[in-house]
Amino acid sequence: MSSDATNDAGFPARLPCIHTSRLLLRPFTHTDWQGLRRLDEDADVQRYRWGNDISEGQTREWVERACVLEGDPARTTFPFAVVLRASGDLAGACGLTLTNVSFREAEAWYELRRDLWGGGYTTEAVRALLQFGFAGMGLHRVWAACHPDNVGSRRVMEKCGMTYEGRLRENFLTGGVWRDSLIYAILSREWPPPQNSVP
């Protein structure tokens, strides 16, 4: 039987709060939908993600689902609100979604407010996310996918020590268009990457 803290597979039912030098990664709360709206209604942020309009109702529903997950031992997704420590404002979101429980594999995902791009925030958040995935969840492999033109996302993955594994052809339908995805991954034995190995 599962304990409160973890499920049978040893994955945590509740997310920790993780502090980095500039960010706090924490579970979503009900009022976070307002901050997340800023990302969901920004076409630049969504271009390489869903590529279509996200309604206020969808944003609210997404945040509610994230809140309901807290404490659920059967959860398969682990979404963090990314908050600026200096102001307490929501900067973005990142998370891990289990893609193979038996093999302890998860997909990492992330997005950041447009006005904060290029400041190293997502790299900082994803490094903390990977640390949680390997040390806190005992994952074996974490992978992530991005649009081939999404240079910023590719750089985030490279700077977090992930290895390019290949290109999936037309595996994603966004804005009515089929698109390819680039796949990057990192294994538990490769974490943390040596400082000098990161490009």
Q: Give the interface with ligand COA as residue ranges (CB under 6 A).
A: 45, 48-49, 110-112, 117-123, 146, 150-153, 155-156, 159
* 55 three-class SS: coil
Specify the DSSP element, H or E, that contains 15. Answer: none
If you ran DSSP here, which 8-state letter would residue 63 be given?
Answer: H
Least distance (Å) from ligand COA to the CB of residue 97? 13
Taken in order 124, 79, 184, 8, is the CA torsion positive or negative?
Answer: positive
Instruction: Give the CA dihedral 167, 170, 172, 174, nearest 10 degrees.
Output: 120
Q: How far is the CB of 49 from ligand COA (least distance, A)?
A: 5
| Structure tokens given for 78 | 């682990």
CB nearer ligand COA, residue 6 or residue 150: 150
Residue 149, classed as helix, strand or coil, is coil
Strand, coil or helix: what is 6? strand
Residue closer to ligand COA by CB (options 60, 159) is 159
Q: Smaller CB distance to ligand COA: residue 14 or 22?
A: 22
Q: Which is nearer to ligand COA, 12 or 146 (CB)?
A: 146
* Least distance in angstroms from the C-beta of 82 to ligand COA: 10
Q: How far is the CB of 154 from ligand COA (least distance, A)?
A: 8
Closest CB to ligand COA: residue number: 152
Cα angle for residues 166, 167, 172 (degrees, 5° grid): 140
Between 49 and 141, name the residue whose CB sits nearer to ligand COA. Answer: 49
Determine contact, residues 139/105, Cβ cutoff 8 Å: yes
Nearest-approach distance from CB 54 to ligand COA, in angstroms: 12
| d(C-alpha 152, C-alpha 185), whole Å | 16
